[in-house]
């Protein structure tokens, strides 16, 4: 019952939140653990889903919308109404594979920039779902990527942090000219 409100992609009303861009302070602060998964948290999740779908992203972390809480939404198949989005509250990575892979990442907070980032291929993550129930998940491929990218956001980390400072400054300059 509770989760029904957030899995129906067509029924989300259209009032997205504003997404913060590189340079915004909230992207650099670490998010606080959620002590109780209540209706306020579920309302935040709904808003985050609206925002993610409107922005055509496959994931969103609360600090991207200036909420310093450990809340993540992910949907690797946004156009498939049969697959529900994933909601991860207080996620922790329990295990990483030793093998790594390169994958080209994008970020809604760094629009137009796509970077090859090296990360562990597969992960095991523990979290609470939107009903406050503890869950664990083995993730690979795009889902593994998205989860690692979003957990970085909760720690104030961005994909440009994997670059040299020279390359990062070039991207910052490029963005400042454009915005
Ligand atoms: O929409 C997004 N696509 C994406 C592609 C590869 C790896 C990670 C991502 S997440 C990103 C949305 C976003 O910025 N989430 O924080
Ligand atoms: Ni991002």
Q: Give me the pLDDT at residue 7, please.
A: 58
Neighbours of 91 (CB within 10 A): 21
Which residue has better confidence, 98 or 3? 98
Active-site residue, 10 included: no
- Please report which residue ranges of 3-96 form alpha helices under DSSP H: 4-7, 39-54
Spacing, Cα 116 to ligand 1 middle (Å) = 12
Q: Report the distance separating Cα 37 and Cα 112, nearest Å.
A: 34
Cα of 106 vs centre of ligand 1, distance in Å, is: 5
Q: Is the pLDDT of residue 3 over 90?
A: no
pLDDT of residue 12: 72
Residue 74 and residue 116: Cα distance in Å, rounded?
A: 20
pLDDT band of residue 6 (cuts 50, 70, 90) is low
Which of 27, 59, 160 maximizes ligand 1 atoms within 8 Å of its Cβ, making it the mutation to test the pocket? 59
Across the range 6-12, mean pLDDT stands at 66
- The least confident of 105-109, 126-130, 143-147, 171-175 is 171-175
């Amino acid at each position: 019952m509770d989760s029904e409100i957030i899995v129906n992609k067509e029924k989300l009303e259209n009032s997205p939140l504003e997404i913060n861009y590189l340079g915004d302070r909230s992207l650099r602060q670490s998010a606080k653990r959620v002590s109780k998964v209540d209706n306020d948290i579920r309302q935040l999740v709904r808003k985050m889903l609206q925002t993610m779908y409107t922005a055509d992203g496959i994931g969103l972390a609360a600090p991207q919308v200036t909420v310093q809480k450990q809340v993540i939404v992910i949907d690797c198949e946004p156009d498939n109404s049969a697959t529900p989005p994933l909601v991860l509250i207080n996620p922790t990575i329990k295990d990483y594979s030793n093998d790594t892979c390169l994958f080209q990442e994008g970020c809604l907070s760094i629009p137009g920039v796509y970077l090859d980032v090296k990360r562990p291929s597969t992960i095991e993550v523990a979290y609470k779902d939107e009903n406050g129930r503890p869950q664990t998940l083995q993730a690979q491929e795009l889902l593994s990527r998205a989860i690692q990218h979003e957990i970085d956001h909760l720690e104030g980390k961005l994909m440009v942090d994997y670059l040299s400072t020279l390359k990062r400054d070039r991207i910052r300059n490029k963005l400042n000219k454009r915005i």
